[in-house]
Structure 1
Amino acid sequence: MKPFDCIIVDDEEIDRLAVLSYAKRFPILNIVGVFDSAEKALYFLDTNTVDVAFLDIELEGASGLELRRKALEIPVCVFISSHSESAAETFELQTLDFIVKPFKFPRFEQMMKRLEEFMEVRTKANLFEATIGGDTVYVKTGHDQIKVKLHEILYLEALKNYTILVTESKRHCVLSNLGEILNDEKFNSFLRVHRSFAVQKQYIQKIGSQEIELNNGNSIPVGRSYKDNLNSVL
């Protein structure tokens, strides 16, 4: 599996550094953001997608629980808090684990084993609700499977835990988030240009400062954090 992009949110510097130190011991984790407030994390998530969030509950301003409610599209959430009485509430928000402060590395390591097992099963079970072979994706629709050729997909659009595969004639909805799809090597021809969009390079007609235009006339927004990705096309 490719590394999982993760963020750490805790308003206590010592606790942030402890989680950061432990997380760095696992190559499967790619730390893309460390924040001391929910507001800063949400601003980052406006233009970025992550796979894992390590959250404290009690933060200055919005709480970790409020942050999770606004970011349910993140596949894995782990709460790390001294407020053990809130554990039950966190599991109503699709939480993988709850670590009580203070804690030591063996507890973090135990959580990581659960995380890797969960992501492996999730990827195998949910990948498009379909089977993939060659240049073809078989998208599950009810009891049927519809064949979609990869080279006919113009772009991918994220919709919470789902992704829309857009072709000239149809939109196919699959149960898999955009990050999971792009992690598959068969989708190497797709370029992520926004938190919610990835386009197939061969269909890019025109690149603007805030959007790109495809051959069929569709316009796709460009996120600030993804502009550098377009250098491979220019």
Structure 2
Amino acid sequence: MTTLTCIAVDDEPLALGLVCAFIEKTPFLTLVGRYSSAVEALQGLLSAPVDVIFLDIQMPDLTGLELARVLERSNRGALTTRIIFTTAFDQFAIEGFRVDALDYLLKPFNYEEFLRAASKARQYFELVQRVEPAPAVATPLTIPPSDVAEDYLFLKVEYQLVRIAYSDILYIEGLKDYVKVYRQSDPDRALLSLTSLKTLEEKLPPKRFMRVHRSFIVALDRISAITRNSVQIGSATISVSDQYKDAFSHFISRWL
């Protein structure tokens, strides 16, 4: 009997727990990961691709449909990872099949409905194995996982997920619900993304970046000059607010 590796992705803890319980209950499925966001799932898939993703659609930062499009482009026509959408909104059904989803589970669904979709996935992979000369094996995406973990940030810009090297970032400006990322490679054109500065701050390595103002995060290795109340990065002078002066003073002490 074919055994399929699976992950579950849902930003609702109860829904995520239910899908994981259904997967673990099914003999021919093996749960290898559970994620509360599509961005986290993408990071995991870079190092450990799977056969099937049980994927919610409505999620912050990156929706399930957007993740499906990223995977579709990365697979380049080789259907190595298949998606079963899980959502409370039936209006997404048509869009789900446009990205070649294997099936579509409408919440709330029971185990019988889940098992029917899972069996469809098993039948698909068994058919592929009979047709292909070699077993269908999920292949990694083209981005090296070590680079992603240590040197890159994924950011949703317009309708695509953009990979930005930490070494390319000069500073980041927060604008209410958006951020602007200024880069060394294109200093005249900032990347605009719908996310908060706080969310981005939590993703950045603290040894390389520092928040110096309510509206600014700076790359420490891009600072060319400092004063007691500001930093200079290229032609930009960025103020250090009182809230962040203690951490900034500690940073200054390394310069002295």
TM-score category by the smaller chain? 0.5 to 0.7
Q: Deviations over 1:76-95 (max 9, x none)?
A: 21001011101001101111
Separation in 2 of the partners of 1:64 and 1:9? 8
Residue 9 of structure 2 is matched in structure 1 by 9
Question: TM-score normalized by structure 2?
Answer: 0.50
What is the one-letter code of the residue matched to 1:48?
A: A
Query: Which residue number in structure 2 is paired with residue 75 of structure 1?
Result: 81
Rounded to whole Å, the distance in 1 between the matches of 2:85 and 2:7 is: 12
SS of structure 2 residue aligned to 1:77:
strand
Letter of the aligned partner of 2:43 in structure 1? Answer: Y
Deviation at 1:196, TM superposition (A): 6.4
Task: Give the structure 1 partner of residue 100 of structure 2.
Answer: 94
Q: 1:84 — aligned with what? A: 90
Distance 1:19 1:222, change over 3 A: closer
Query: Does the 8 Å contact 2:38/2:62 carry over to 1?
Result: yes
Residue 47 of structure 2 aligns to a residue whose secondary structure is: coil
What SS does the aligned partner of 1:65 have? Answer: helix
Work out which of the residue numbers 116, 119, 144 in structure 2 matches 1:113: 119
Tell me the distance in 1 between the aligned counterparts of 2:145 and 2:57.
33
- Cα-to-partner distance string for 1:92-146 (whole Å, 9 max, x where unaligned): 1111110100111111111122122111111111234xxxxxxxxxxxxxxxxxx
Moved over 2 A (4+): 72-75, 176-180, 221-224
Relative to the length of structure 1, the TM-score reads 0.55
Q: In the alignment, which of 106, 127, 130 is matched to residue 124 of structure 1?
A: 130
Aligned-residue identity in percent: 29
Q: Write the distance in 1 (CA, Å) between the matches of 2:12 and 2:67.
A: 17
Question: Counterpart of 1:58 in structure 2: which amino acid?
Answer: Q
Q: Does 1:104 align with 2:110?
A: yes
Larger radius of gyration: 2
Aligned length: 140
- Counterpart of 1:29 in structure 2 is 29
How large is the Cα RMSD of the aligned pairs? Answer: 2.3
Structure 1: give runs of 5+ residues left out of the alignment. 129-175, 181-194, 198-220, 225-234
